[in-house]
Amino acid sequence: MNPLGNIPIFISTLQNIPTKRRTRIILREAVFALVILTIFLFGGRLILKGLQVTPSALSIAGGIILFLIAIRLIFPHPKEKGEELDGEPFLVPLAIPLQAGPATMAMVMLLSNQPGSSTGLTFIALATAWIISLCCLLAGSALSNVLGKRGLTAMERLMGMILTTISVQMFLSGIENYFHLVH
């Protein structure tokens, strides 16, 4: 969900929105993201079965997508930082893809398809991550004031490095499962 990496993007996207309205927008977008991720959690098996996608393929694809997102966090394109929306954002880009992006959806579906996994426990983990993410995003302006522009940039790069590691592990796990390799 990468809330620390998303703070600079949320701040720049919502910079022209009145302060009181920003909190409502963040809450609304976070609820959209939770609903979407919950659909993927509980419907993940059906989605994979309907698309005839194996968990290994999903893990490899999710790893590749997450890797690309992580690389963009580490090495952002200048044009992306300056993009502005006309009016108030709705669903895109704050809910999808920033909070409920393809890699997060893939991870939720993978977790729901693990042998012996408990969908209820996975939902509790998802809800916990969502609450932590929401708190970080709501505290984003205050955190921005404390860390400053350089601190936020460093945090974004750090989150990119962490996501790079997670993405490589997802990719390797997919390869390992596909070829039935054992440690």
Q: 40: which residues sit within 8 A by CB, 6+ positions away?
A: 47, 100, 105, 108, 109, 112
For range 112-130, the mean pLDDT: 91
Residue 139 counted as domain residue? yes
Q: Cα–Cα distance between 130 and 73 in angstroms, integer?
A: 20
Q: Is residue 165 part of a domain?
A: yes
In a domain, 98, yes or no: yes
Q: Is residue 183 part of a domain?
A: no
Q: What's the pLDDT at 12?
A: 84
**pLDDT over 60 (residue 72):** yes
pTM for the model stands at 0.83
Q: Which residues pair with 90 in a beta bridge?
A: 92
Q: Which residue has the higher pLDDT, 84 or 65?
A: 65
Parent domain of 78: 3-178
The number of domains in the chain is 1
In a domain, 36, yes or no: yes
